[in-house]
Structure 1
Amino acid sequence: MPRGALSAIGAAAVLSIALTSCSSSSGPATSTGETGKSGGPLVVGVTSDPDTLFPWKATQFTAVNVLQNIYGTLTEFDKDLNVVPGLAESWQASEDGKKLILTLRKGVTFGDGSAFDSKDVKASLEKIMDEKTAAVARASLASVKSVEAPDENTVVLELTGPDAALPANLATVNMAMLSSDDTEEKLNATPNGTGPFTLGKRVPSQSLTLARNDKYWGAEKPKVASVEFRVIPDESSIVSAMQSGNVQLAVFNDPLVAQTAQGGGTITVTKTPQLSYHALQLNAQHGDLKDVNVRLAIQCAIDRKQVLDTAALGEGEVTGPITAPAFKSDPAKRPCPQRDLAKAAEYLGKAGKSGGLTVKAIVSQGEYATSVNEAQNLKAQLSEAKINLDLEVLESGAFVDRWVAADFDAAVALNGGRPDPDGSYGRYFTSKGNLNKVAGYSSPELDKLFAEGKATTDPAARKAIYEKVSAELEANAPWIWLFTSYTYTGTTSNVSGFVPMVSGSLQYLRTTSVG
């Protein structure tokens, strides 16, 4: 990820996430054009089927991309990652930062025709906060003591203290606003949101079709009548489908496939740096990995640039934990900024493992193209340090199930990044984070730092705090951060209006048209 490519985005993001007031008559910026123009349908090629249709538990990329087009959130991100109004048309913090008052849009309806109001927001936030719900974004509401709905268009969040990350955290689909009458079981069968599309038809493992929501609250209605997510397990096969006219849009992870697509002359490919990051996640609660010296030995035995070059043709950048431009980690500030087998051997000796050890690792096949190549390169490198990485390759749904259950010693993973570090890591690396079991590591120092990061609104002070977070993570190596890469958005000549985002979001399907 070129350092200069996102500098403007970083400046905008750090200003927009502060816990202040905001108001607007509309949500994310949209392209110009005739409102509601059909010109469809649009077929999007994807390599995996959504593993859930319940937004509060969605972690798989395909599921997130589908659901963010069905459901609405209180705030949203625009194309430059500024936090902008969503279902809340404005918000205002109290002077002491212990209260956030949200004013909701009027006239918004769910897909089933029922009205959206403050009781739905209150019910949604309270259920996300309830540990029994098992919502993946629960930790993002850790500062919320209570939710009040004094009238149908107003919601008041009582906070333990200022929370600079809260407006940005409310923008993720894991914080989708649901009807107070709906249940998880019902929504997994029939999603019911306030977004630009509604569920049309689903054929499991083959396709999922969204229909335009003509009652969508946005100033500009979706341009296509429908969007079909067609499951084609191999990216090269998606290119063939685009060349034959059966698919009009796809997002590729494999740079070699992207080169092939571009070379055919019928597909335009747009290259976009990503906040998401590739990592070898180590479960510090399991076996030999409980010893920090073992984890540091693994860290020192890996040449991250070699993994990047092997798996992604060098298309990306070696990274530290935080990829958000305004808070970006320096990958040189880690115990072994370069591969150091002698240091790795020293750490193994401290752990009493000079003869070597075996670490079992799960790998996802199908959700992103570089995973198996990454895993095989990691295995080859670690073997030179007497560390055997025993690989178990799983289809994406099985991988997600094992990952969420923390049923792994190590996991070769691609994690989505966010504009604010608290949203990225607060739920993982704090002792009360709802995904701490998955992260396998927390510490009193990290708890203190994350609390300070939420309570601080000054951008420079927050950056300094998250530099300490990054240093703490690198020094204890719960995960081995490898690299960031690009996505490659392919569109056929009759497609216009789609805006790729560094967050990987497909929210701008709402502005896409097919001529």
Structure 2
Amino acid sequence: MKNTLRRIALSLAFAAVAGGSAVAQSHLRVGLAEDPDVLDPSLARTYVGRIVFSSICDKLFDIDEKLNVVPQLATSHETSPDGLTVTIKLRPGVKFHDGEVFDAAAAKYSLERHLNMKGSFRKPEIASINSIEIVDPSTIKLILKTPFSPLLAQLTDRAGMMVSPKAAEAAGDKFGLKPVCAGPYKFVERVQQDRIVVEKFADYWNKDQVFIDKITYLPIVDSTVRLANLRSGGLDMIERLLATDIKTVRDNPKLKLISAVELGYQGLTINLSNGPKAASPLAKDARVRQAFELSIDRDALNQVVFNGEFVVGNQWINPTNPYYQQSLPVPKRDLAKAKALLKEAGVSGRMSLDMMVPNSPETRQVAEVLQSMVAEAGFDLKIRVTEFATSLKAAEDGDYELYLIGWSGRSDPDGNSFSFQACGSPQNNSGYCDKDVDEWHKQARIKSDPAERKKIYENIAKKYLADGSIKYLYHRRVLMALSDKIDGYKQMPDGLIRVVGVKLK
């Protein structure tokens, strides 16, 4: 821990020296729980990456506290009666960090890059777009293949982030090393596993609401070290405070806690058909997966690891979400039934399973509690702690049987389900594929009436919760701990750190 604290102090000192005259400027220091992956909106896939993007890459739309879609780089939108055309008016007077003008041509370029770039994780999110037309310099028209009700929600995240065409063309697949967007802050430098530095963009379209000169993001995996640095003044804000540390923050008059229930979920992904590690009875027999789930006590898990502060769940949206299926409540632990199902499936003796776990104190503790619970039913979990970005690559390669991983969530339920459940989707690392589920997803994407959509999602949930590849366990509270020097900070349910409007005393 001493070495980690010293490294952070050195990083901050270096950043101050590198800033030269910027030493006297306001400087927000944010402790992240992991180091982000590539800083390219088309290729990125980590939650912490989205936190950094929220300061450097504005989107066409954003969300408010009630999950309403609100304008950002767009000013308005209009959908045709048949749902096949979406016309978007763009904000005038916007510049990218390299001085290039943001206009309809740049918006068209950015969206087509998301759609066509090799390895893009945004493609399935906006694949309903057939073509993009420039109506005039401040208007684009999206021509859709079919009506797609989640489209605007998708454009409130990375799929809606706009990049400088000039910079993107020059950098190619190296764009993520020095991203150039149109956000309130411009990228300065990155040292892997050490820091990401951004500074205020003088020509930002909403610059009157940007009050902090520089932000340094410091990846600190150890939550105890993150909190220690916040308490000592080495950091001004930390994300993913441990639930067990809530009291410590509440009892400190120099700190404050801001929280919201996350849009996403935390769960266990089971490798069903991605490579040799999908050969176990767990992958091949839904009864074994059901037995595994029945050996888990979600309420006890929440109490032991999170002091009961989180929200137990069994679906891809939390129980307060209007799309939650009340007809499919969280299953209670039933060891007798679990053992009977294993016997029915022909499983005898203890079943050894490789469980990949990203390296953080909470996920390790969750893994250990799960290991103890499922052991009583006959499952022998072998915990393999892996650096976070490395675990994502291993999941793509199918190098796991079970993967303890979550999803930070989207405002529309489609953003929490389709990419993980639809056949061949890029985030579907488990290899799950079901024609009925795919067809229902298509129907849910066409319908705009919430009641109709909820009924379709009930069909998906009935089938997927029974034999799918993800066992949803709980929904975190987004726990942000801040110095009392920070004013004006609001926490949205998506867990991102929005810095516009925030002041540092």
TM-score normalized by structure 2?
0.88
Q: In 2 relative to 1, CA 417–82 (structure 1 residues): closer, same or farther, beyond 3 Å?
A: same
**Matched letter for residue 441 of structure 1:** Y
User: In the alignment, is residue 483 of structure 1 matched against residue 483 of structure 2?
Assistant: no
CA contact (8 A) 2:302 2:308 kept: yes
Distance 1:73 1:258 in 2: 32
Aligned 1:5-16 pairs, distance under 5 A: none
Deviation per residue, 1:205-254 (Å, 9 max, x gap): 22211101121123743110011112333222222222222211112341
Aligned to 1:34: none
**Matched letter for residue 235 of structure 2:** V
User: In the alignment, is residue 514 of structure 1 matched against residue 504 of structure 2?
Assistant: yes
Aligned to 1:60: 46
**Matched letter for residue 73 of structure 1:** K
Distance 1:93 1:417 in 2: 25
User: In the alignment, is residue 379 of structure 1 matched against residue 371 of structure 2?
Assistant: yes
CA contact (8 A) 2:33 2:219 kept: yes
Q: For residue 352 of structure 2, give the secondary structure of its aligned residue in structure 1.
A: strand
Distance 1:484 1:232 in 2: 22
Q: For residue 355 of structure 1, give the secondary structure of its aligned residue in structure 2.
A: coil
**Matched letter for residue 448 of structure 2:** T
Deviation per residue, 1:348-397 (Å, 9 max, x gap): 2233213332221100013xx41001111111111111111111101122
Q: 1:455 aligns with which of 446, 471, 484?
A: 446
Residue 332 of structure 1 and its aligned partner are, at CA, apart by 6.9
**Matched letter for residue 486 of structure 1:** R
> 277-286 or 72-81: which moved more?
72-81
Q: In 2 relative to 1, CA 169–401 (structure 1 residues): closer, same or farther, beyond 3 Å?
A: same
Residue 126 of structure 1 and its aligned partner are, at CA, apart by 2.1
CA contact (8 A) 1:120 1:177 kept: yes
CA contact (8 A) 2:87 2:141 kept: yes
CA contact (8 A) 2:110 2:163 kept: yes
Q: In 2 relative to 1, CA 450–342 (structure 1 residues): closer, same or farther, beyond 3 Å?
A: same
CA contact (8 A) 1:147 1:157 kept: yes
CA contact (8 A) 1:271 1:488 kept: yes
Q: 1:137 aligns with which of 118, 122, 138?
A: 122
User: In the alignment, is residue 329 of structure 1 matched against residue 320 of structure 2?
Assistant: no
Distance 1:273 1:304 in 2: 17
Deviation per residue, 1:406-434 (Å, 9 max, x gap): 43211011211222111111112112423
Distance 2:120 2:305 in 1: 33
**Matched letter for residue 497 of structure 1:** G
Q: 2:404 aligns with which of 412, 424, 441?
A: 412
Aligned to 1:244: 232
CA contact (8 A) 1:276 1:323 kept: yes
User: In the alignment, is residue 261 of structure 1 matched against residue 268 of structure 2?
Assistant: no
Distance 1:356 1:398 in 2: 29
Q: For residue 186 of structure 2, give the secondary structure of its aligned residue in structure 1.
A: strand
Aligned to 1:146: 131
Q: For residue 510 of structure 1, give the secondary structure of its aligned residue in structure 2.
A: coil
Distance 1:341 1:256 in 2: 28
Q: In 2 relative to 1, CA 403–69 (structure 1 residues): closer, same or farther, beyond 3 Å?
A: farther
> 383-392 or 241-250: which moved more?
241-250
Deviation per residue, 1:324-360 (Å, 9 max, x gap): 64444347726x8111122212222233213332221
Q: In 2 relative to 1, CA 43–211 (structure 1 residues): closer, same or farther, beyond 3 Å?
A: same
Deviation per residue, 1:8-57 (Å, 9 max, x gap): xxxxxxxxxxxxxxxxxxxxxxxxxxxxxx97211112232222211222
User: In the alignment, is residue 125 of structure 1 matched against residue 111 of structure 2?
Assistant: yes
Distance 2:191 2:146 in 1: 47
Q: In 2 relative to 1, CA 75–143 (structure 1 residues): closer, same or farther, beyond 3 Å?
A: same
Distance 2:294 2:155 in 1: 37
Distance 1:249 1:39 in 2: 17
Distance 1:483 1:245 in 2: 32
Q: 2:31 aligns with which of 36, 41, 45?
A: 45
Root mean square deviation, CA, Å: 2.0
> 181-190 or 247-256: which moved more?
181-190
Residue 493 of structure 1 and its aligned partner are, at CA, apart by 1.9
Aligned to 2:490: 499
User: In the alignment, is residue 156 of structure 1 matched against residue 141 of structure 2?
Assistant: yes
User: In the alignment, is residue 69 of structure 1 matched against residue 55 of structure 2?
Assistant: yes
Q: 1:279 aligns with which of 257, 263, 267?
A: 267
Aligned to 1:100: 86
List gaps (5 residues or longer) in structure 2: 1-23
Distance 2:177 2:337 in 1: 53
Q: In 2 relative to 1, CA 136–405 (structure 1 residues): closer, same or farther, beyond 3 Å?
A: farther
Q: For residue 165 of structure 2, give the secondary structure of its aligned residue in structure 1.
A: coil
**Matched letter for residue 231 of structure 1:** P
Distance 1:147 1:448 in 2: 26
Distance 1:309 1:331 in 2: 23
Distance 2:393 2:206 in 1: 35
Aligned 1:48-447 pairs, distance under 5 A: 48-130=34-116, 133-181=118-166, 182=168, 183-218=171-206, 220-285=208-273, 286-288=278-280, 289-323=283-317, 325-330=320-325, 333=328, 337-366=331-360, 369-436=361-428, 438-447=429-438
Residue 441 of structure 1 and its aligned partner are, at CA, apart by 1.1
List gaps (5 residues or longer) in structure 1: 1-37
Distance 2:259 2:436 in 1: 38
Distance 2:455 2:325 in 1: 12
Q: For residue 101 of structure 1, give the secondary structure of its aligned residue in structure 2.
A: strand
CA contact (8 A) 1:280 1:481 kept: yes
Q: For residue 339 of structure 1, give the secondary structure of its aligned residue in structure 2.
A: coil
**Matched letter for residue 167 of structure 1:** L
**Matched letter for residue 412 of structure 2:** D
Residue 151 of structure 1 and its aligned partner are, at CA, apart by 2.9
Residue 149 of structure 1 and its aligned partner are, at CA, apart by 2.0
Distance 1:331 1:356 in 2: 34
Q: For residue 55 of structure 1, give the secondary structure of its aligned residue in structure 2.
A: coil
Question: Matched residues, percent identical?
Answer: 26
Residue 290 of structure 1 and its aligned partner are, at CA, apart by 2.5
